[in-house]
């Protein structure tokens, strides 16, 4: 499967290197390693090896042609002309016009020469990435799955608050799906009392379209729409990936952003959600147990063939006073921390007591600001200048004694 070159989301460009020897493939991999943009994941196979399951879904194939005169264009042609196949970058050892023409006629998207030039390669990959993103994004919302391997780290709270932040601060249309089917806590976190739930869609014989899906959503006061978990624990057994997959497809047609509370248990349903996610936000706290379990999940992703989905790590209930520091977490996981959400008991208490959402009950709190920042980061918006200019927010994040201050 594709190996990760650096931190990347499900949106990374998958590049497959095909070359006759380990040395030539290594040389191509070396230059790919220097490409700063776009984000890529790389795999390689020998020229005489068949495409394995998993490598067949490459976005780009970099194929080193043999040094014959002319080279054998047939493998290139087969790949480049396959229906919905990858874009093929032909890598040549010889730059004669006949050979370039031959490669282009065989279907090569671009022709590159050895030794590879980093800028040429980067330009070719950027072009492919831009086209691909354009196709992917037409009428399609982003899906973010929130998940953990430990109970009580704050997945549900963060899903709810992130949904509110996205809706209120970035103006996106936001839908949330409670796939933690047995717990079904998301409605409480959003202070909603759903009448209908995902169970009302369980009859898969009835066509699922946007009208049917909309009819079972619960709209919150801030404008966030919830697809609630079943009301009874035993009903969760009746929800299968056969239902979850079309539900998510329609949700992403209806909303700019879809957030999914995947809870802490791996199931057929959550795997289907992960697979469809643009990003997987993996919530941890500063405990050894959370770190240990994270390794197990990363390994599971690999075994499921989902290791191209690189989770983004969010440390929740962060406090500078905990024994395990941010740097130690990043070092242990060998991955960077994507976001830190401070521990803020006071603001969450205010939410409970007032029965209002975080952005009404404690809009200036460190918690609200950090969730807003994460929301902006996810959708590529700039955080509100005002909140950064005030300067207090960043200071509060890094100052443990102030992290609990409410607004
Ligand atoms: N940033 C935070 N600061 C302080 N308390 C928090 C924070 N985030 C969550 N909590 C609290 O932690 C508790 C657990 O949160 P939550 O239910 O969201 O976790 P979870 O991961 O969804 O749990 P479960 O595994 O049971 O689904 C709640 O009491 C919540 O109020
Ligand atoms: Mg939960």
Q: How far apart are CA 66 and CA 140, in angstroms?
A: 41
Q: Kindly compute the dihedral angle of the four CA atoms of residues 107, 133, 38, 276, in this order, to the nearest 10 degrees.
A: -110
Res. 85 pLDDT band, cuts 50 70 90:
confident
Q: Say whether pLDDT at 9 is over 70.
A: no
Which residue, judged by its Cα, is nearest atom 11 of ligand 1?
A: 154
Q: Is the CB of 281 under 6 A from ligand 1?
A: no
pLDDT in tens, 351-367: 999 999 999 999 999 99
Tell me how far apart the alpha carbons of residues 85 and 256 are, in angstroms, rounded to a whole number: 28
Beta carbons within 8 Å of 194's beta carbon, 6+ residues apart? 187, 218, 226, 228
- Residue 59 CA to ligand 1 center (angstroms) comes to 38
* pLDDT bucket at 39, cuts 50 / 70 / 90: confident
For 157-171, write each residue's pLDDT tens digit. Answer: 999 999 999 998 888
What distance in angstroms lies between residue 367's CA and the mean position of ligand 2's atoms? 18
CA-wise closest residue to 178 among 139, 140, 129, 145: 145
Determine the distance separating the centroid of ligand 2 and the alpha carbon of 135, expressed in angstroms. 34
Q: Could you please report the per-residue DSSP string of 365-377?
A: SHHHHHHHHHHHH
- The string of DSSP codes covering 181-210 is TTT--HHHHTT---S--GGGG--TTS---H
| DSSP state for residue 235 in the 8-state scheme | G
Residue 68: pLDDT band with limits 50, 70, 90: confident
Ligand 1 in contact with 343 (CB < 6 A)? yes
Residue 340 alpha carbon to ligand 2 centre in Å: 18
357 CA to middle of ligand 1, Å?
15
**pLDDT tens-digit readout, 302-323:** 787 776 677 899 999 999 988 8
pLDDT at 318: 96
CA atoms within 13 A on the CB side of 77: 9
pLDDT at 4 (0 to 100): 42
Q: Which of 183, 348, 373, 396 to mutate to test the pocket of ligand 1 (most atoms within 8 A of CB)?
A: 348
Mean per-residue pLDDT, 338-356? 96
Closest CA to 248 of 193, 310, 177, 192: 177
Phi/psi zone of residue 74: left (φ > 0), alpha (ψ -120 to 50 degrees), beta? alpha
Atom from ligand 1 closest to the CA of residue 180: 27
Q: Which residues surround ligand 2, an ion (CB under 5 A)?
A: 155-156, 185
Helices marked H in 56-154: 74-80, 97-105, 118-137
**Architecture of domain 3-137 in this structure:** 3-Layer(aba) Sandwich (3.40)
At 50 the three-state DSSP class reads coil
State both tokens at 277.
């996610």
For residue 14, is pLDDT > 70?
Answer: yes
Contact indicator for 238, 199 with CB cutoff of 8 Å? yes
What sign does the CA torsion over 156, 371, 307, 12 have? positive
The set of residues, in sequence order, having a beta carbon less than 8 Å from that of 191 and lying 6+ positions away, is: 220, 355, 356, 357
Q: Compute the CA torsion angle 272, 227, 247, 306 (nearest 10 deg).
A: -20
Structure tokens, 324: 């395990």
Tell which residue, 119, 92, 98, has the closest CA to residue 32: 119
Ligand 1 atom at shortest distance from the alpha carbon of 343: 3
> Which ligand neighbours the alpha carbon of 340 most closely?
1
Cα–Cα distance measured from residue 72 to residue 68, given in angstroms and rounded to the nearest whole number: 7
So what's the pLDDT on residue 395?
33
Q: One fold for both 3-137 and 142-402?
A: yes
229: three-class secondary structure by DSSP: coil
- Does the pLDDT of residue 186 top 70, yes or no? yes
**What percentage of the chain carries pLDDT values higher than 70?**
86
pLDDT value for 341: 97
CATH level 3 topology of 142-402: Rossmann fold (3.40.50)
Q: Is 344 in the pocket of ligand 1 (CB under 6 A)?
A: yes
Q: Is 43 in the pocket of ligand 1 (CB under 6 A)?
A: no
157 lines ligand 1 (CB under 6 A): yes
Residues 266/180, Cβ–Cβ less than 8 Å: no
| Separation of CA 149 and ligand 2 centre (Å) | 11
Q: Which residue has the tokens 């090569």?
A: 108
Helices and strands, number each (H, E), in the chain:
16, 14
What strands, in cross-sheet order, belong to the sheet with 142-147? 218-219, 225-227, 174-178, 257-261, 142-147, 279-284, 312-318, 337-342
Q: Kindly report the protein residue whose alpha carbon is nearest to atom 10 of ligand 1.
A: 154
Which of 149, 150, 151, 157 to mutate for ligand 1's pocket (most ligand atoms within 8 Å of CB)? Answer: 157
pLDDT digits (tens, 9 = 90+) for 266-297: 888 998 898 888 889 999 999 999 888 998 88
For ligand 2, the distance from its centroid to the CA atom of residue 327, given in whole angstroms, is 26
Task: At 133, list the tokens.
Answer: 């993103």
Task: Give the CA angle between residues 282, 285, 289 to the nearest 5°.
Answer: 95
* Sequence ranges of the domains in the chain: 3-137, 142-402
């Amino acid at each position: 499967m594709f190996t990760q070159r650096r931190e990347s989301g499900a949106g990374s460009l998958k590049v497959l290197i095909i070359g006759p020897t380990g040395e030539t493939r290594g040389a191509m991999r070396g230059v790919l390693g220097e490409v700063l943009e776009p984000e890529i994941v790389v795999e390689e196979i020998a020229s005489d090896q068949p495409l394995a399951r998993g490598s067949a879904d490459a976005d780009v194939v970099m194929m080193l042609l043999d040094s014959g005169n002319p080279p054998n264009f047939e493998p290139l042609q087969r790949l480049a002309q396959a229906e919905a196949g990858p874009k093929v970058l032909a890598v040549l050892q010889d730059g004669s016009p006949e050979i370039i023409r031959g490669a282009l006629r065989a279907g090569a998207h671009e022709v590159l020469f050895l030794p590879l030039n980093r800028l040429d390669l980067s330009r070719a990959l950027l072009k492919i990435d831009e086209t691909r993103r354009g196709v992917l994004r037409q009428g399609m919302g982003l899906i973010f799955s929130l998940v953990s391997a430990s109970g009580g780290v704050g997945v549900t709270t963060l899903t709810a608050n992130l949904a509110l932040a996205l809706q209120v601060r970035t103006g996106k249309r936001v839908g949330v799906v409670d796939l933690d089917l047995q717990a079904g806590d998301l409605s409480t976190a959003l202070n909603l009392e759903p009448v209908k739930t995902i169970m009302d869609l369980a009859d898969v014989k009835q066509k699922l379209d946007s009208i049917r899906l909309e009819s079972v959503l619960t709209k919150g006061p801030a404008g966030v729409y919830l697809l609630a978990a079943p009301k009874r624990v035993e009903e969760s057994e009746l929800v299968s990936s056969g239902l979850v997959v079309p539900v998510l497809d329609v949700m992403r047609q209806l909303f700019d952003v879809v957030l999914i509370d995947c809870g802490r248990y791996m199931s057929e349903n959550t795997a289907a959600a992960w697979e469809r996610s643009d990003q997987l936000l993996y919530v941890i706290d500063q405990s050894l147990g959370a770190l240990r379990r994270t390794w197990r999940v990363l390994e599971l992703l690999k075994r499921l063939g989902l290791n191209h989905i690189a989770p983004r790590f969010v440390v929740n209930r962060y406090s500078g006073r905990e024994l395990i520091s941010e740097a130690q977490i990043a070092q242990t996981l060998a991955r960077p921390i994507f976001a830190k959400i401070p521990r803020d008991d006071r603001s969450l208490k205010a939410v409970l007591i007032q029965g209002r959402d975080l952005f009404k009950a404690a809009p200036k709190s460190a918690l609200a600001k950090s969730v807003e920042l994460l929301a902006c980061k996810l959708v590529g918006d700039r955080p509100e200048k005002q909140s950064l200019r005030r300067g207090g927010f960043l200071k509060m994040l890094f100052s443990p004694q102030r992290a609990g201050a409410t607004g």
